Amino acid sequence: MDEESRACLAATLLTSHFSPEVAVRLQEQRRLHGEAFDYSVALDHSVGEQVRVSDVMGPGSYQPAARSQGFRRSIVMHYDHRCALCGIRIVTPEGQTAVDAAHIVPWSVSRNDDIRNGMALCKLCHWAFDRGMMSISDSYTVVLSRNLSSDNNAAGLLGVLTGRRLVGPLANELWPHRDNLAWHRKQYGFT
C-alpha cells in the first residue's frame, strides 16, 4: 500500500528475475501505466472547466502513449464498456472489451481529450462514426447518413439504430458536449 515500498519491491523483482534488457522495458511499461493512470485522473478532475485539457495540462507533459491509454481508461470506465450508439457490451474473461475510446472531434483537429469530447464505441460504430455514416442529434439520438443505405450497402445492425437514444455515462455532466456533436454533424453534412 506504500508507494516507496512498492517501488522498492518492483525494482528488486526486476533485477533478480529478469535480464537487464527486459527489466528496462518492464520499468518503462510500469512508468507508462502510472502516467496513464495519472492522466485519466486529471481528465476526470478537469470536467466542466470549459477549457481544453491540453491547455490545462500543457501539451507534451505526457507521453502520447500515456495520454492515449489514460483517455481510453477514463472513457471505457465511464461508459461501463458499453457502445454509446448500439448498446453492445462485451468483456472477455480476460477483461478485454469490445469498445474503443473514440474522439467526437478528432484529436488531430481539437487536441481535446475532455471526456465530453469522447464516447465508448464498438469497432463497427467507431468506424461508421469516424466516416460520417452515423452522427448524434442535439437531443442525443442516433442519426444515420443516407449513404449508409445507398446501393449495394447492407447496413445490418446499424440500419435499425436511427432514433435510438445515446447510452451515456451515469453522470450527466460527462455526456458529450453539444458543441462537439454539432461539429461532427456539420463536418459530415447532417442537417
Length of the chain: 191
Handedness of CA 73, 76, 77, 78 (dihedral sign): positive
C-beta closer to Zn ion: residue 100 or 113: 100
Looking up cell 442525443 gives 140
Q: How far is the CB of 157 from Zn ion (least distance, A)?
A: 8
Check residue 158 for interaction with Zn ion (CB under 5 A). Answer: no
Q: How far is the CB of 119 from Zn ion (least distance, A)?
A: 10
Residue 174 and residue 47 in contact, taking contact as beta carbons nearer than 8 Å: yes
Per-state percent for the chain, helix, strand, coil, to nearest 5: 50, 10, 40
Pattern 82-111, binding to Zn ion, x per CB under 5 A? -x-xx-x-----------------------
C-beta closer to Zn ion: residue 66 or 83: 83
- Residue selected from 36, 102, 125, 144 as contacting Zn ion according to rule CB under 5 A: 125
Q: Which stretch binds Zn ion (CB under 5 A): 22-30, 76-84, 140-148, 173-181?
A: 76-84
Within the chain, residue ranges assigned H as helices are 3-17, 20-46, 53-57, 64-78, 107-110, 123-130, 178-187
- Cell numbers describing residue 14: 526486476
C-beta closer to Zn ion: residue 14 or 125: 125
Q: Which residues bind Zn ion (CB under 5 A)?
A: 83, 85-86, 88, 122, 125
